[in-house]
Amino acid sequence: MKTRILLGAATAVSLAVAGCGGASSTAGNDKPAAGSKGTVKIAINPWVGYEANAAVIAHVLQKELGYTVEKKTLKEEVSWQGFESGEVDVIVENWGHEDLKKTYIQDKKVAVEVGPTGNKGYIGWYVPQWMVDKYPDITDYRNLNKYAGLFKTSESGGKGQFLAGDPSFVTNDAALVANLKLNYKVVYSGSEAAIIKAAQQATAQKKPLLFYFYEPQWLFSKEKYVRVKLPPYTPGCDADAKKVACDYPDYQLDKIASKKFADTGGDAYALIQKFSWTNDDQNIVSDYITNQGLTPEKAAEKWAGDHEATWKAWLP
């Protein structure tokens, strides 16, 4: 939700665009530009914030540097595999994944870190504001069992329902439920779009909902949700995925590129290195795509027209 000056004939440049949670619009291929320096392949991960990053990067690569951009819809881990296969050149929004960094950067040496996106990432458990107003102590995980009955659904088997997102997202929720001895069942919504719809219904219809969510996310500018306080994160508390009993860490979202792209990417790679914007910037573009009916390309064009000073600082 993440190229290079080519020598001689057109060479493929890949951009992998990743997702922590949610449905982003279907990625397509942008038409090759006349006199293009080469093709940039962008893998699109399944959340709109990632797609916003990718759309703006693609816009500047095409309009200012003369590259062609090809987009591919890929899950997070599959995007990393693309560094080795040559299918992917860069991921433009990575959420942690220290295990994948070890495999592809340290061990296989087919990828490199490219630096932060400027976005701060937060993952956690949330409830709608109205529930906090009615049940003020519900934001303490130690009180969740007291309220489990409120969250029962036909899918939760007599327990409270905890609504998760796409199973491919960064998630410790099943382990947290088990290790904190919570009387809940994790139910997967399947996508960012589905979890957003459930959150909106929970607010509009005053329906109880305990759910996985994250920032940056445009929905927080529209409605109020409150994060549940889990046991504080400490370094290493999530080292064993089966024993996790602590909150998620805060993330400095970053970019990952293939080693080949880093070595040969020229101006395109230089732009990716310099790309940096804020959570508010990303949320603006995500809102254009999700709520205002703009294609990712038009959303990026609109944002770029209003924020010229920001993207000009990325140019080589």
Selection from 43, 48, 18 nearest residue 286 by Cα: 48
pLDDT band at 276 (very low <50, low <70, confident <90, very high): very high
Q: Are 56 and 131 in contact (CB under 8 A)?
A: no
Task: Give the mean model confidence (pLDDT) for residues 237-252.
Answer: 95
pLDDT band at 36 (very low <50, low <70, confident <90, very high): low
pLDDT band at 9 (very low <50, low <70, confident <90, very high): very low
pLDDT in tens, 120-134: 999 999 999 999 999
Question: For residue 16, what pLDDT is reported?
Answer: 39
Residue 150's CB is within 10 A of a number of other CB atoms, namely 18
pLDDT in tens, 106-162: 999 999 999 999 999 999 999 999 999 999 999 999 999 999 999 999 999 999 999
Q: In whole angstroms, give the CA distance from residue 260 to residue 83.
A: 9
Q: In whole angstroms, give the CA distance from residue 304 to residue 266.
A: 22
Q: In whole angstroms, give the CA distance from residue 71 to residue 46.
A: 13
Residue 238's CB is within 10 A of a number of other CB atoms, namely 20
pLDDT in tens, 179-208: 999 999 999 999 999 999 999 999 999 999
Question: For residue 201, what pLDDT is reported?
Answer: 97
26 pLDDT more than 70: no
Helices 48-63 & 266-274 angle (0-180, nearest 10)? 140
Helices (H), 180-312: 192-204, 259-264, 266-274, 279-291, 296-306, 308-312
Selection from 46, 53, 29 nearest residue 114 by Cα: 53
pLDDT in tens, 294-304: 999 999 999 99
**Gyration radius from the chain CA atoms:** 20
Q: In whole angstroms, give the CA distance from residue 186 to residue 254.
A: 29
Average pLDDT, the chain: 88
Which residues face 164 on adjacent strands? 188
11 pLDDT more than 80: no
Residue 77's CB is within 10 A of a number of other CB atoms, namely 14
4 pLDDT more than 60: no
